[in-house]
Structure 1
Amino acid sequence: MLAAQKMLVLLCVGISLAHDSITPAQLKNIEETLKELKRENEALRSFTKDLSDKLESIQADNKAKKVAFSAGLLASGSQQFGPFDTRETLIYQKIFTNTGNAYDSNTGHFTAPVNGVYFFRFYAHGHPSKQMAVSLHKNDQIQCSVFSLKPETNANGSNGVVLSLQKGDKVYTQLWENSWVFDDESSYTSFSGFLLFPL
């Protein structure tokens, strides 16, 4: 019986109660109708909660799929980095975009928020007579690099790669030992990446 029909039955019974005394059969019918209404109400609440949970899950998945960042090495001013005795992670401070907050400007690390295929590109700028060498790493493994050995003029290097990442994998760039890179407000040295599609 539909809820509206049951409400109509209860209304009719209520009207009859106003005129006559209720019979045991009517009382039993009212109790059964109330129990059925309660069951249907609980089922409706459960259905509504399931829909709400599914909607939240879909929204979370869609949010996790929106991943893109781009950053320059310096937030302001100009500076030459290096040389160092060991390889050093470059920490990019000038955030152009960080949708999904997967890039950490405190560590220079991009951390994959979901399993997926990602694209990364980095640029490095060097000055004359100075070695410029930078590598992109996935966790502790070099994926690709740029290198210029003491150029006669300014040197620019760029490389990019498509990587399959698991949630929690880290991608970052490192300056090689005994190497230099330069950056200023024009953001010659930068790092970018985005999710192509989830897996």
Structure 2
Amino acid sequence: MRRAASFLALLLCLYWTGAQGESGGLTGNDITQTEIQSEILGVKSTSDQTNITPDIWAELKELRDMAIEHSVELRKLEQETRLTASENEVKELQRENTVLKARMKTSEDVMEELKMENTDLQSRVTASEDKSKVLEARMNASENEVEELKRQIADQPKVAFSLGLTDSGQVGPFNTDITLKFSKVITNFGQVYSPTTGLFTAPVRGAYYFSFTTLDTRSSVWRRVYLYHNDKRVLFSYNFSASSHESVSNSLVLQLEKGDVVYLVLPASYSVFDNTNDHTTFNGFLLFPL
């Protein structure tokens, strides 16, 4: 570019010198300058070239036009070079943008996957929390039931007795029916049996279990005993044996109201036997309140 500018300046100088010659003629100094310029341009008159006179001004104009054309072409080339560089930069930026878009798409996909995993984890945590709440509710219900059972057991009357008749041996026979009074108290929870009267008194309304066993040491006699509920005979047990030391046993469940009484009766002309071995016993307990 600098060479073209220098060349163009030289051409302008020559063009200006030629213009001066046309307007006022050539002086000695002008001729010398013309020769110097002709040498620079490589155009010099010699004795063997006297018949050839080039049109220097036409050539100068042509050279000027060529210089201008070259300058224009250089500018176009620079512009094209810059445009090409810009296009390359744009293509590079587009490539980088494509890479960035791909990376962004990958990041978005990863983000969506993480969101899905997070949603799944939240669902599982929520399900676990719901199960925990259900289990906690069931545990609380079970604890409440246990507490209720404990309360019921604590509130339920303690009713149970086990008795032996006597250590004196044979009891009876008598001329009339008698209530057997079991004097040996093995257990008597709730103090529900009275050895003085021979009566069991129900403390609450409920279902009660009773059992008894009697022994008679006489032979070839009838053995008989009754169980009464209040004034009603509800159990009649007897047997006959030719041998001695025969026993009679029986049991039943009764529904009693609070204050009801249960007791054993030995009929007239019958007897029972007991000693320290407790051959004749009476037992009972509360199954459950009603």
Change (3 A) 1:185 1:62: same
Percent identity reads 42
Task: Report the AA paired with residue 260 of structure 2.
Answer: D
Which whole-Å CA distance do the structure 2 matches of 1:135 and 1:114 have between them? 24
> What does 1:1-199 align with in structure 2 at a 5 Å threshold?
62=154, 65-74=157-166, 77-127=167-217, 128-199=219-290
TM score, norm. by length of structure 1: 0.66
Distance change (3 Å), C-alpha of 1:159 and 1:107: same
Kindly provide the amino acid, as one letter, of the partner of residue 165 in structure 1.
L
Counterpart residue type for residue 247 of structure 2:
N
Q: In 1, distance between residues paired with 2:195 and 2:255? A: 22
Deviations 1:176-195 (A, max 9, x none): 11101000001110100000
Whether the 8 Å CA contact 2:156–2:289 is kept in 1: the answer is no
Tell me which of the two structures has the higher relative contact order, counting C-alpha pairs closer than 8 angstroms and 6 or more residues apart: 1
Kindly provide the amino acid, as one letter, of the partner of residue 191 in structure 2. Answer: N
Note the alpha carbon deviations across 1:108-131, whole angstroms, 9 max, x for none.
100000000000001100122333
Structure number with the higher helix fraction is 2
The letter of the residue matching 1:92 is: F
How many Å separate the matches in 1 of 2:174 and 2:206?
34
* In 1, Cα distance between equivalents of 2:283 and 2:155: 19
Question: Any runs of at least 4 consecutive aligned residues in structure 1 with deviations exceeding 6 A, and if so which?
Answer: 58-61
Which of 1 and 2 has greater Rg? Answer: 2
Q: Indicate conservation of the 8 Å contact 1:102/1:110, yes or no.
A: yes
Distance of 2:244 and 2:157 partners within structure 1: 42
Unaligned runs of 5+ in 2: 1-149
Alignment gaps of 5+ in structure 1: 1-57
- TM-score normalised by L of structure 2: 0.46
- Helix, strand or coil at the partner of 1:123: strand
More strand by share: 1
Question: 2:123 corresponds to which residue?
Answer: none
Alignment length, in residue pairs? 140
Cα distance, 1:106 vs. partner? 0.5
